[in-house]
C-alpha cells in the first residue's frame, strides 16, 4: 500500500472532507476509537479541545492508505497495515478515526486514518521525526508481504550485488555478512517487483544472487560465496507457482555452471580492487612523501629559530655579566685589592655554567621533541603501509580463490564449499542451503 501522511490542524475542514459523498461513491466510518463522541466531527473537536492545553498547532496526524489498482485488500488487511503504521510512527494507543472511501470506475477502495497527536497524560504532542521515511519503509514492507509489484520509488537503493560494490562496501559486507531475514527480504522483494524471468533475474543480480537449475527443487539461487538456496522455500511459495511465472527451469544453467560464471565475474572484480589498491597506495605514498618533507622543513626552521634565539640570549647575558666589573683604572685596581673582582668573576663563572646547562637542555628538548614527531609520523606511515599491504594480500588471495573455483570439478567444488563453511565463524540462520 502507498502511505501518505502529515501532521495538521483544521479538524472541522478535515471532517467535512472525509465525509463528502459528492467526491466519493461510498463513505464508511469504520472505527471511532478513544473518544467520547461517536462521530468524526465530534472526535476531531475533542482533539482540538485537548490541544488548547498545549502549544501544539497541528494536533492531528492524517494518513491515507492506498492499495495497488485492482488489488483485493480486505478490511483486515487495512487494519493490519494501520497497526504497522501507527507502531512505526509512535502513535500506538492514541485515539483514532478510520474512514473508508470508494470511488472511480473500478470502485477503488482506500482508507483514511486520523490520530490524535496529544498525549493526554503528559499534555504534550507526540514528536514524529522522519515520518516520511518510516511510512516509506512500512509501505515497502506491505507490498512485499502481499506479493504486489513494488513501485520503483519504494525499491531500496542499497543494492547488495558484490559486483557493484566499492572496495569499502565489499570489505564491510564481508565483515558483517548477511542475516537470514535479510536474505529472505531480498529474495521476496525481487519476486514481488518482477513479473517475468528476465525481470526477476535482473532483480536478483541487483541483490547479489544468480538464478540456476537445481537438482531436487528445480529453481535455486546462488550467491557469490556459492551458497545454494531453494527459491520456493525462501519465497514461501510452491514450485508450481514459481514455474508459472518463470517458465520451465530446463533453460537455466545448472548450479555448477552458474557458480563457475559467478566465480569468474568475482575474480575480475577482485582484479579491479587490486588495481584500485595499488593506485591508492601510490597516491598515498606520494602524499606522505610530501608531508614528510614539509615536516622536515618545518623542523629545520624551528631549530634554526631556536638556536638563533639561544645565541642572542647568550650574547646578552655575557654582556650583562661583563658589565658587573667596575669601570675606570682606579676602581678596577681597588676591586683587585679588596677582592671584589674575584667575587664577581666567581659569580659570573657560576652564572655562565648554569646558562650553558640551560641552553644545552633546551637544545636537547627540542631535538627530542622533533625526533618524537618524526617517529610518530613514521609509525603512521608504516601502519598505513601494513594495512594496505594486508588488504592487497587479502584481495589477491580472494581473487586466486575465485579463479580456482571457476575451474573446479563438481566434487572439488563441493569439498571446497564444505571447507569454507567449516572455517567460517558463526552459524547460518534460516533454511539450510540446497545442493
Distance of alpha carbon 134 from its chain centroid, rounded?
17
Tell me which H or E stretch contains 364. Answer: helix 340-405
Q: CA separation (Å) from 378 to 281, 286, 416?
A: 16, 14, 42
Per-residue pLDDT reduced to its tens digit, 406-427: 777 767 766 766 766 666 544 4
Cell numbers given for 267: 575474480
Task: Output the pTM of the full model.
Answer: 0.46
Per-residue pLDDT reduced to its tens digit, 67-90: 887 788 888 999 999 999 999 999
The whole-number pLDDT of residue 189 equals 82
CATH number (3.40.1020.10, 3.30.9.10, 3.40.50.720, 3.30.930.30) of 2-154 reads 3.30.930.30
The whole-number pLDDT of residue 429 equals 45
Q: Where in the chain is the domain with CATH 3.30.930.30?
A: 2-154
Per-residue pLDDT reduced to its tens digit, 148-165: 777 766 665 554 566 665
The whole-number pLDDT of residue 434 equals 46
Cell numbers given for 368: 627530542
> What are the two backbone dihedrals, phi and then psi, of residue 98, each rounded to the nearest 5 degrees?
-120, 125
CA angle 282, 285, 288 (to 5 degrees): 150
Q: What's the mean pLDDT in 228-232?
A: 85
Q: Which residue from 356, 359, 352, 342 is spatially nearest to 320, judged by alpha carbons?
A: 352
Q: What's the mean pLDDT in 257-279?
A: 87
Give the residue, 24 or 408, on which the prediction is more confident.
Answer: 24
Q: What's the mean pLDDT in 93-117?
A: 87
pLDDT at 177 > cutoff 70: no
Per-residue pLDDT reduced to its tens digit, 344-386: 889 989 999 999 999 999 999 999 999 999 999 888 888 888 8
Instruction: Calculate the average pLDDT of the chain.
Output: 84
pLDDT at 262 > cutoff 60: yes
Cell numbers given for 156: 531500496
The whole-number pLDDT of residue 217 equals 58
Amino acid at each position: 500500500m502507498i502511505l501518505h501522511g502529515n501532521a495538521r490542524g483544521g479538524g472541522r475542514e478535515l471532517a467535512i472532507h472525509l465525509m463528502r459523498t459528492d467526491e466519493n461513491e461510498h463513505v464508511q466510518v469504520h472505527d471511532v476509537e478513544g473518544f467520547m463522541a461517536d462521530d468524526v466531527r465530534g472526535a476531531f473537536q475533542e482533539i482540538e479541545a485537548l490541544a488548547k492545553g498545549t502549544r501544539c498547532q497541528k494536533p492531528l496526524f492524517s494518513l491515507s492508505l492506498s492499495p495497488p489498482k485492482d488489488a483485493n485488500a480486505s478490511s483486515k488487511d487495512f487494519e493490519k497495515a494501520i497497526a504497522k503504521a501507527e507502531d512505526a510512527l509512535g502513535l500506538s494507543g492514541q485515539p483514532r478515526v478510520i474512514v473508508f472511501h470508494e470511488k472511480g470506475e473500478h470502485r477503488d477502495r482506500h482508507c483514511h486514518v486520523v490520530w490524535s497527536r496529544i498525549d493526554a497524560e503528559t499534555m504534550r504532542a507526540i514528536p514524529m521525526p522522519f515520518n516520511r521515511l518510516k511510512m516509506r519503509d512500512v509501505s515497502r514492507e506491505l507490498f512485499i508481504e502481499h506479493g504486489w509489484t513494488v513501485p520503483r520509488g519504494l525499491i531500496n537503493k542499497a543494492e547488495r550485488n558484490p559486483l557493484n560494490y566499492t572496495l569499502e562496501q565489499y570489505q564491510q559486507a564481508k565483515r558483517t555478512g548477511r542475516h537470514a531475514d535479510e536474505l529472505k527480504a531480498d529474495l521476496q522483494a525481487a519476486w514481488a517487483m518482477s513479473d517475468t524471468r528476465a525481470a526477476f533475474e535482473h532483480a536478483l543480480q541487483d541483490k547479489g544472487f544468480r538464478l540456476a537449475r537445481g537438482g531436487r527443487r528445480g529453481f535455486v539461487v546462488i550467491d557469490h560465496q556459492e551458497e545454494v538456496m531453494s527459491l520456493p522455500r525462501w519465497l514461501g511459495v510452491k514450485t508450481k507457482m514459481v514455474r508459472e511465472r518463470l517458465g520451465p527451469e530446463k533453460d537455466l544453467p545448472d548450479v555448477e555452471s552458474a557458480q563457475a560464471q559467478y566465480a569468474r565475474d568475482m575474480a575480475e572484480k577482485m582484479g579491479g580492487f587490486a588495481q584500485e589498491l595499488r593506485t591508492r597506495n601510490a597516491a598515498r605514498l606520494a602524499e606522505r612523501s610530501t608531508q614528510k618533507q614539509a615536516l622536515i622543513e618545518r623542523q629545520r626552521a624551528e631549530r634554526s629559530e631556536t638556536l638563533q634565539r639561544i645565541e642572542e640570549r647568550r650574547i646578552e647575558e655575557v654582556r650583562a655579566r661583563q658589565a658587573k666589573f667596575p669601570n675606570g683604572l682606579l676602581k678596577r685596581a681597588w676591586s683587585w685589592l679588596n677582592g671584589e673582582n674575584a667575587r664577581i668573576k666567581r659569580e659570573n663563572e657560576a652564572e655562565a655554567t648554569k646558562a650553558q646547562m640551560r641552553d644545552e637542555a633546551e637544545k636537547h628538548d627540542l631535538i627530542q621533541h622533533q625526533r618524537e614527531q618524526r617517529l610518530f609520523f613514521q609509525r603512521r606511515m608504516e601502519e598505513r603501509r601494513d594495512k594496505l599491504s594486508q588488504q592487497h594480500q587479502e584481495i589477491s588471495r580472494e581473487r586466486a580463490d575465485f579463479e580456482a573455483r571457476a575451474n573446479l570439478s563438481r566434487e572439488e567444488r563441493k569439498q571446497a564449499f564444505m571447507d569454507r563453511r567449516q572455517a567460517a565463524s558463526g552459524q547460518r540462520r534460516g533454511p539450510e542451503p540446497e545442493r
